[in-house]
Amino acid sequence: MRVLNIPVPDDLQTLWRDWLAPPRQPLFLTAAEAEAFDLPTIPRAEVELTPEERDTNAVWGIAAEVDRVAWLTAADWQSLDSQKQRELLRLQVRHNRGNLPRRCDFADLLPDLPQARFLWTPELLTDAVLERMVGAGNPPCQRTQVPESVWEAASARLPRVRELAGTFAPRSGANCFGAVMGAAGVAGAENTWMQREPFEAFLRERTRPGGKDDQPGTVLLWRSADGLVQHAAVTLGSGWAFQKASQVWTSPRVVLSVDDLKRTARQRGHRLSRHTLL
């Protein structure tokens, strides 16, 4: 299987299917909703989610007042009548839970889906479905278009960027800061949920302010109005750049044109600056 022009090993495909269609699913409800549906729930504050559960379900977007969680197995879900299933799915959409696919996005691949929204089950996650689901909204990697001369010139400051470009991380948490540090040769950084403090230390120790987008080793930094770095990428030279867009497991480490990368990374209130790797 290839997703976004990136080969995906069989063992990683298995993990993806497990994260999308786990043995049990968390449904997020207010106390009143939980009572109305007569579902057993626990306080959200007591729920311990894995990084993959957090990111697959986009838990960061769920409001604090949605403070109860019902864990439903596949058998629990199937025991509910279709009307109750629809109402619970509607509430999950309202509460901004992720991993709630729409029938219209997969109708050509899965023509027998009964509801406008649904939960994944293992048999639905064919190769074609998985490729579409993971690839949705992400630009394809352009690694194969980078000339050999560009890779060679970039290797002095980015000794591991060619190794990392066009790969998926093995789990959630690996982020843009770690991708840049890993490309620059910091062992293991590419698979770490790298925080701002060690990344800022890396910038102080391994870079100097300034840089040019057409030269290899220019770290592109987007900071919010309060000065906090929000995103980072690094140039390969000759109009190419490398990034990991976010910490979620669906976000690969890709090569894009500098212009495309800057366009996809642009957010209101974030200011772009540059440092050069030493």
61-106 pLDDT per residue, tens: 999 999 999 999 999 999 999 999 999 999 999 999 999 999 999 9
Q: From the centroid of its chain, how far is CA 190? A: 14
Q: What is the model's pLDDT at position 234?
A: 98
Q: What is the model's pLDDT at position 137?
A: 87
Residue 114 — very low, low, confident or very high, per pLDDT cuts 50/70/90? confident
Three-state DSSP at 233 gives: strand
pTM to 2 decimals? 0.94
Q: Structural domains in the chain?
A: 2-135 (no CATH), 143-277 (3.90.1720)
195-219 pLDDT per residue, tens: 999 999 999 999 999 999 999 999 9
Percent residues over pLDDT 70 in the chain:
100
Q: How far is CA 202 from CA 63, 172, 205, in A?
A: 34, 22, 5
CA atoms of 251 and 14, how far apart (whole Å) = 17
Residue 25 — very low, low, confident or very high, per pLDDT cuts 50/70/90? very high
H or E element, residue 260:
helix 258-265
139-166 pLDDT per residue, tens: 999 999 999 999 999 999 999 999 999 9
CA atoms of 266 and 9, how far apart (whole Å) = 31
Q: How far is CA 135 from CA 99, 129, 216, in A?
A: 14, 10, 28
Give the mean pLDDT of the chain.
97
Is residue 115's pLDDT more than 90?
Answer: no
Residue 230 — very low, low, confident or very high, per pLDDT cuts 50/70/90? very high
Q: What is the model's pLDDT at position 212?
A: 97
Q: What is the model's pLDDT at position 189?
A: 98
